[in-house]
Amino acid sequence: GNSVTQMEGPVTLSEEAFLTINCTYTATGYPSLFWYVQYPGEGLQLLLKATKADDKGSNKGFEATYRKETTSFHLEKGSVQVSDSAVYFCALSGPQGGSEKLVFGKGMKLTVNP
Amino acid sequence: NAGVTQTPKFQVLKTGQSMTLQCAQDMNHEYMSWYRQDPGMGLRLIHYSVGAGITDQGEVPNGYNVSRSTTEDFPLRLLSAAPSQTSVYFCASSRAGRWGNQPQHFGDGTRLSIL
């Protein structure tokens, strides 16, 4: 079945540091890929998505590129801020299942210190 | 703009009690899902629905029941609560999309403790 493997952390960075969170997946065909963010005490929010190979999703300075050849969807940000402290989840849906069935990685907690 | 609304936000139960977690969405989304979030486990799918009157099991359905009588509501029932069901529960909804390309929208969660 489909699965997602991501860095688990926790990770602590200083403000303005570079961030990479690795995410690889296993799926047949071409799934859709997502990054969700969970701020303390809140639900998950969509951060960005990509629905086909070589697509780049971007939002709030974060970027991730759908790499079919390496089955990866790594999240990057050039300069993190204290407000980026949160838990980050990589997830996929489809192609056999629809968007009602997300498969998540275990999440990575990021703390950014001033 | 309410989105996905879950009630209650917190609940404490005794082993063997039953309860219903409520979920409502106002976006006219076809799909709705329930997940549980446990430390170190990410989110796991409990049950899902692709439309009113249609439900199916996810990865961890045992001990839970769902129904979908309207597009807006998707309650989750715990039949006989067990300590292993202590978790944070999230409801999500999404539009029907091709090849799963529509993102899910999440509620704020229900934190449930079973004593």
- In percent, how much of chain B has pLDDT > 90? 86
Q: For residues B83 and A100, which has the higher predicted lDDT (pLDDT)? A: B83
Question: Which pLDDT value is given to residue B11?
Answer: 96
* Alpha-carbon distance A96 to nearest alpha carbon in chain B (angstroms): 7
pLDDT tens for each residue of A23-69: 999 988 888 999 999 998 889 999 999 988 999 999 999 999 999 99
pLDDT category at A97 given cuts 50, 70, 90 is: low
Work out the average pLDDT over B93-113: 87
User: Measured between CB atoms, which of B94, B101, B106 is closest to A100?
Assistant: B94
CB pairs under 8 A between A and B: 85
Question: Which pLDDT value is given to residue A96?
Answer: 62
How far apart CA A32 and CA A40 sit, in angstroms, is 26
pLDDT category at B75 given cuts 50, 70, 90 is: very high
User: Measured between CB atoms, which of B40, B100, B104 is closest to A94?
Assistant: B100
pLDDT category at B1 given cuts 50, 70, 90 is: low
Residues of A in contact with B100 (CB under 8 A): 31-32, 92-95, 97-99, 101
Per-residue three-class SS string for chain B: CCCEEEECCEEEECCCCCEEEEEEECCCCCEEEEEEEECCCEEEEEEEEEECCEEEECCCCCCEEECCCCCCECCEEECCCCHHHCEEEEEEEECCCHHHCCCCEECCCEEEEEC
Quick check: B41 pLDDT over 70? yes
pLDDT tens for each residue of A16-30: 999 999 999 998 888
Beta-carbon separation of A106 and B42 below 8 A: yes
Residues of B in contact with A36 (CB under 8 A): 106
Q: What is the mean pLDDT of chain B?
A: 93
Task: Choose from A68, A99, A109 for mutation: most chain B CBs within 10 A.
Answer: A99
Quick check: B42 pLDDT over 70? yes
Q: For residues A46 and A7, which has the higher predicted lDDT (pLDDT)? A: A46
User: Measured between CB atoms, which of B42, B92, B109 is closest to A89?
Assistant: B42
Question: Which pLDDT value is given to residue B99?
Answer: 62
